[in-house]
Amino acid sequence: MSHEETQAALENLVRDVARAQRGRPPQVKSRLCPYCNQALPEVRLGVRLTPLKARLFDLVQRGGEDGIPGNDLRDILWPDEQLSVKTLAVHVNQINELIEDEGYRIKGSMSRPSVFRLVKL
């Protein structure tokens, strides 16, 4: 699959997910223990993350080398809310503080629109 085809497939996926979520409150469901029904921790790179941050991390990771545009992340994570770019940046910075000891970082491009990708340090 070429770069253009991959980018088009990612854009279609983001659009479909955003459309499917419209009209519903933003929800990030936790996995539950089958025995006690308590929320299981979300662990990425050996680090515990909140369900929202784990979902954000997963989306950026799935973006691969091309990354995922910040606008698409906001549309997926907060489909019914108009949040500023700063809200997304705060979550990314908090994730980076947690995963930096594991040798990874989420980097955002300085271009507009910004694109986020997971990089190994």
Residues in the chain: 121
DSSP annotation of 64 reads: G
CA of residue 68 relative to chain centroid, distance: 9
Of residues 49, 121, 39, the one with CA closest to residue 59: 49
Reported CATH class of domain 3-120: mainly alpha
Pairing of strands 68-69, 115-120: antiparallel
> Which two tokens mark 100?
């930096």
Answer whether 0.95 is exceeded by the pTM.
Answer: no
How do the pLDDT tens digits run along the chain, 121 residues long? 577 777 777 776 776 666 655 554 445 567 788 899 888 889 999 999 988 999 999 999 999 999 999 989 998 888 888 888 789 999 999 999 999 999 999 999 877 778 999 999 9
